[in-house]
Amino acid sequence: MPELIEVESYRQAADRVVGRTVRAVVAPDAWFLKGGATPSVVTAAVERRTVVGTGRRGKLMWLDLDDGVQLGLRFGMTGRIVVDGFGPIDALEYGPSRQDPAWDRFGLEFVRGGRLVLSDPRRLGGVELDPDLSRLGPEASTVTRKELTVALGSSSAPLKAALLDQSRLAGVGNLIADETLWRAGMDPARPAGGLDADDVAALARTLRSTVRLLTRRGGSHTGDLQEQRHRSGTCPRCGEPLERRTVGGRTTYSCPAEQG
C-alpha cells in the first residue's frame, strides 16, 4: 500500500520526464479520472504541454506543466508508477506480485519517446487536474508539534483514525501509523484530543523519526512491527502477544502491555 514513502519514490521516478513534451494522453478507464475530468478534458489540458516539475504532499503527487496546470496522481492501495518501463517499486505490500497491462489506468506518451503509466489493480487511485492541496493537512514527514496539535485538536476520534485522516495530516497510512504509535508507546484507540502537550511533542518527534528510518530502509513495510503483523504476532520489544483489532476502520496491531 503506497504511503508517503512510496509516493515520494514515485515522484523521484517521475523527475525523469521533466523537460519532456506530452504527445498523447492514454486514458482507457474514464472512471479513473476524478473531479469532473473526462478523457477529452484531460487531453485538451495536457497534450502538447511540457512537464516542468514534480511535487508531492502526503500520498498525492503531481506533475507541473508549462501552462500552470497541475496533473494530480493518487495511488489508492495498489497504485504504482512506471516510467519508461521502469517502476521504482516492483510490488506493494498486500498487493499482487504480478503485473498485468489491463491494470494500466492512465498514461502519458512523450514526443521524443517514453511513457509514464499509472497501474492500479484495485482502481482505488485516480487522476485529476489541479488537485486542491488545501484539502490536505501538513506533511507528516516534517510535521511540527504545533501543526500536530492543531491537527488533533479536541477530537474524540481514535488517535490512529486522526493520523490516517489526510485532511488532518498528509501521508500516513496503516503501516506507518501502527509503527509510529508502537514506537511512541501510545494506544491507537485513545482519543486524539486527549494528548497533553508533552504527548503531542513526543508523537511528532516519533512520527518524523519513523518516516526517516523507514525511508532509509526502503519502504513503509520495513518497520520493526511489520514481521509480527499476524494473528500470533508478539511485541518485538517485550514479547507480549500483540492485540489485533479494528481502529478507525483499519486492521490494527498494538502491544497492550506497552501501549496502554
Q: Is the pLDDT of residue 112 over 70?
A: yes
pLDDT of residue 63: 98
87: its cell numbers? 517502476
Q: Is 250 among the catalytic positions? A: yes
Q: Compute and round to an integer the Cα radius of gyration of the chain.
A: 19
Q: Which of 3, 8, 128, 147 is catalytic?
A: 3
3-state secondary structure of 17: helix
In sequence order, the β-bridge partners of residue 61 are 56, 73
Q: Is 47 known to be catalytic?
A: no
Whether 34 shows a pLDDT value over 70: the answer reads yes
Q: What is the band of 91 on the pLDDT scale with cuts at 50, 70, 90?
A: confident
**Residue 59: active-site member:** yes
Contacts of 211 (CB under 8 A, 6+ apart): 4, 5, 140, 141, 171, 176
pLDDT tens-digit series, residues 194-218 = 999 999 999 999 999 999 999 999 9
Q: How many CB atoms lie within 10 A of CB 7?
A: 24
Helix locations, 47-191, DSSP H:
145-152, 159-164, 174-184
What mean pLDDT do residues 7-17 have? 98
Q: Is 123's pLDDT higher than 90?
A: yes
- For β-strands 115-119 and 243-247, DSSP reports them as unpaired
Is residue 94's pLDDT more than 70?
Answer: no
> Stretch 164-174: mean pLDDT, rounded?
98
Residue 81 pLDDT > 80:
yes
Greatest Cα pair distance in the chain = 59
| Mean pLDDT across 166-173 | 98
Q: What is the pLDDT of residues 38-61, one digit of tens each?
A: 999 999 999 999 999 999 999 999
Task: Check pLDDT > 80 for residue 96.
Answer: no
Backbone phi, then psi, for 157, in 5-degree steps? -65, 155
The pLDDT assigned to 98 comes to: 73
- What is the dihedral angle through the alpha carbons of 7, 12, 13, 16, rounded to the nearest 10 degrees? 150
Catalogue all structural domains in the chain, each as residue range(s) with its CATH number. Answer: 4-134 (3.20.190.10), 137-254 (1.10.8.50)
- 3-class DSSP assignment, residue 174: helix
Closest CA to 147 of 215, 83, 203, 82: 203
Residue 248 above 70 pLDDT?
yes
Q: At residue 258, does pLDDT exceed 80?
A: yes
Q: Over pLDDT 70: what percentage of the chain?
A: 98
Does the pLDDT value for residue 152 go beyond 70? yes
The percent of residues in the chain predicted with pLDDT above 90, rounded, is 93
- Which of these is catalytic: 123, 237, 244, 250? 250
For residue 97, pLDDT beyond 90? no
The answer on pLDDT for 85 being more than 70 is yes
127: Cβ–Cβ under 8 A, 6 or more apart, which residues?
27, 32, 33, 34, 37, 42, 71, 72, 73, 74, 105, 106, 118
Q: Is 146 a catalytic residue?
A: no
What is the average pLDDT across 106-128?
Answer: 96
Instruction: Measure CA 9 to chain center.
Output: 11
The mean pLDDT value of the chain amounts to 96
Q: For residue 118, list its beta bridge partners.
A: 81, 106
Q: Record the pTM.
A: 0.95
Active-site residue identified among 11, 49, 59, 183: 59
What is residue 215's predicted lDDT score, i.e. its pLDDT?
A: 97
The CA distances from residue 8 to 16, 99, 207, 215, 224, in Å, are: 14, 21, 16, 9, 21
Contacts for 210 with CB less than 8 Å, ≥ 6 apart:
176, 179, 180, 183, 223
